[in-house]
Amino acid sequence: MSDKKASNQMWGGRFASGPAAIMEAINASIGFDRKLYAQDISGSIAHSEMLAETGIISAADQEKIAHGLNTILKEIEAGTFEFSTRLEDIHMNVEARLADLIGPAAGRLHTARSRNDQVAVDLRLWVKQECQRVAGALKDLIAAFLERAEEHAATVMPGFTHMQAAQPVTFGHHCMAYVEMFGRDLSRVRDAIERMDESPLGAAALAGTSFSIDRHMTAKALGFREPTRNSLDSVSDRDFALEFLSLAAICATHLSRLAEEIIIWSTPQFGFIRLSDSFSTGSSIMPQKKNPDAAELVRGKTGRVSGHLVGLLTVMKGMPLTYGKDMQEDKEAVFDAAETLDLMLAATAGMVRDMTVNAAAMKKAAGAGHATATDLADWLVRNLGLPFREAHHVTGRAVALAEEKKVALEKLSLEDLRSIHPGITDDIFSVLAVQNSVKSRVSFGGTAPSEVRKQIRYWKKRLAKA
């Protein structure tokens, strides 16, 4: 096929010659939108079935079209299909091949539709299916955290604010914090699926069509809840892509926060966890090194996902209704973000299940930095009736004395403590040990092992229904 012939088939009689090489390069999207081949073929089959059912095309032509499209699907999946940049995109590549296979009947397929609603439905289908994959990966990651939380519901570790040891918590409680974070990500995915579950097919170029089509039929055939309700919005809307990138960026941010903790925890200075060789690499020059490269790459890839969100927001901010070629920039951003997020989720679930927890190192660190000072203040309020601000002041003096004596807070003698406040009794030592501290935090959502196990049971039931 000559360049001129291919161009005229694509662009129609308005253009007497083919596009220049530069125009072809900037205009063609087949290099990346070929990923939509399955969705494009599914949409075309559904459209042809509707056209036949409504009497717009004959049943015989529809049968030829469906057979030809299924043949093309097999060719693409077998790797024998020849994609052409001269044919711009996946839609025209498929349609041109369909014409080769079945002849003039192929020309009837595009009745009552445009590439504008065609690409909208293809990408929306792809994003919806990707959201379902992400939901599955998030459920697996949450399950991995629940396993570790159950195992370490009573394993004491320091809790931090400002990266300074603050109060003792348990590693199980820390794991459950990520269950909450990734649970919200799962909720966002489910919400996004609900909002994008409308089919734009049949909106045509922008104004709908004069043919008596049945958009509810094609929506149902493609697994959508219903058709979209405004033809202008149908072809210009990319909220579903933006929302996917938004939830992907938030999820990636959560993954990055966890990756940062894994990196810190695995340093010799912390020694809280150890990753196996499966998720680590060595140094080319320092034989003693074991680098948490999987976690570092998860942390690094977050910027890539967030960048795609900013990029598409920037594309869409200046788009008047309805369609503009600028919107071709949506696909590479979505495809790359999806591939990146899938990999990040899989790697993170692997690291969570793989890590070896050093409970002794965690417990030792939990007692550092006078981490039970708040417990002392609470005891003074509860047992001596002091206002909290006064209790806070008394506790501060106790911490200063412990630092002066270079001992842990719980190592101060009763006489030392009574010199600060005479009402203190030896019962105070029941709350100054880190193990007792975490057991006392029985408020709903607190770090007490009993409360952690309660939340684990809740999330196991919730996950089973998700």
* Matching residue, tokens 């931090």: 160
Cβ atoms of 134 and 189 closer than 8 Å: yes
Q: What is the pLDDT of residue 284?
A: 46
Give me the percent of the chain exceeding a pLDDT of 70. Answer: 94
> pLDDT higher for 462 or 282?
462
Mean pLDDT of the region 146-158: 96
Band of the pLDDT at 348, cuts 50, 70, 90? very high
> pLDDT higher for 310 or 438?
310
Bridge-based pairing of strands 156-161 and 164-170 is antiparallel
Cβ atoms of 52 and 39 closer than 8 Å: no
- Residue 5 φ then ψ, to 5°: -65, -45
Cα(433)–Cα(92) distance, integer angstroms = 71
Select which of 162, 210, 212, 278 is catalytic.
162
Per-residue pLDDT reduced to its tens digit, 412-441: 888 888 898 988 888 888 788 788 889 888
Give me the percent of the chain exceeding a pLDDT of 90. Answer: 73
Q: What is the pLDDT of residue 1?
A: 40
Select which of 17, 58, 276, 283 is catalytic.
283
Query: Is 283 part of the annotated catalytic residue set?
Result: yes
Cβ atoms of 397 and 383 closer than 8 Å: no
Give the CA diameter of the chain.
Answer: 100
User: Which of 295-309, 380-394, 429-443 is least confident?
Assistant: 429-443
Q: What is the pLDDT of residue 281?
A: 65
The shares of helix, strand and coil residues in the chain, as percent rounded to the nearest 5, are 70, 5, 25
Per-residue pLDDT reduced to its tens digit, 246-267: 999 999 999 999 999 999 999 9
Mean pLDDT of the region 39-56: 98
Cα(272)–Cα(156) distance, integer angstroms = 11
Cβ atoms of 364 and 357 closer than 8 Å: no
Q: Is 47 helix (H, G, I), strand (E, B) or coil?
A: helix
Query: Is 91 part of the annotated catalytic residue set?
Result: no
Residue 203 neighbours by CB distance under 10 Å: 30
Residue 92 neighbours by CB distance under 10 Å: 18
Mean pLDDT of the region 124-137: 98
Q: Counting beta carbons within 10 angstroms of the beta carbon of residue 100, is it exposed (0 to 12), middle (13 to 18) or buried (19 or more)?
A: exposed
Q: Is the pLDDT of residue 325 over 60?
A: yes
Q: What type of residue sits at position 450?
A: S
Mean pLDDT of the region 369-393: 86
Q: Is the pLDDT of residue 20 over 90?
A: no
Mean pLDDT of the region 76-94: 95
Mean pLDDT of the region 276-294: 70
Mean pLDDT of the region 67-88: 96
Question: Which ranges of 165-238 does DSSP label H, i.e. alpha helix?
Answer: 171-196, 215-221, 231-236
* Matching residue, tokens 């991995």: 144
Q: What is the pLDDT of residue 410?
A: 79
Cα(408)–Cα(387) distance, integer angstroms = 25
User: Which of 20-34, 180-194, 276-290 is least confident?
Assistant: 276-290
**pTM greater than 0.75 (yes/no):** yes
Q: Is the pLDDT of residue 445 over 60?
A: yes
Cβ atoms of 27 and 19 closer than 8 Å: yes
Secondary structure of 121-175 in HEC code, one letter for each residue = HHHHHHHHHHHHHHHHHHHHHHHHHHHHHHHCCCCEEEEEECCEEEEEEEHHHHH
Q: What is the pLDDT of residue 169?
A: 95
Cβ atoms of 225 and 198 closer than 8 Å: yes
Q: Is the pLDDT of residue 9 over 60?
A: no
**12: CB partners within 8 A, 6+ apart:** none
Please work out, in degrees rounded to the nearest 5, the angle formed at the alpha carbon of residue 135 by the alpha carbons of 134 and 136.
90
Number of residues that this document lists for the chain: 466
Q: Is the pLDDT of residue 40 over 70?
A: yes
Q: What is the pLDDT of residue 18?
A: 60
Q: Is the pLDDT of residue 12 over 70?
A: no
Q: Is 31 helix (H, G, I), strand (E, B) or coil?
A: helix
Residue 169 neighbours by CB distance under 10 Å: 26
Cβ atoms of 292 and 262 closer than 8 Å: yes
Band of the pLDDT at 189, cuts 50, 70, 90? very high
Cα(200)–Cα(214) distance, integer angstroms = 12
Mean pLDDT of the region 291-317: 96
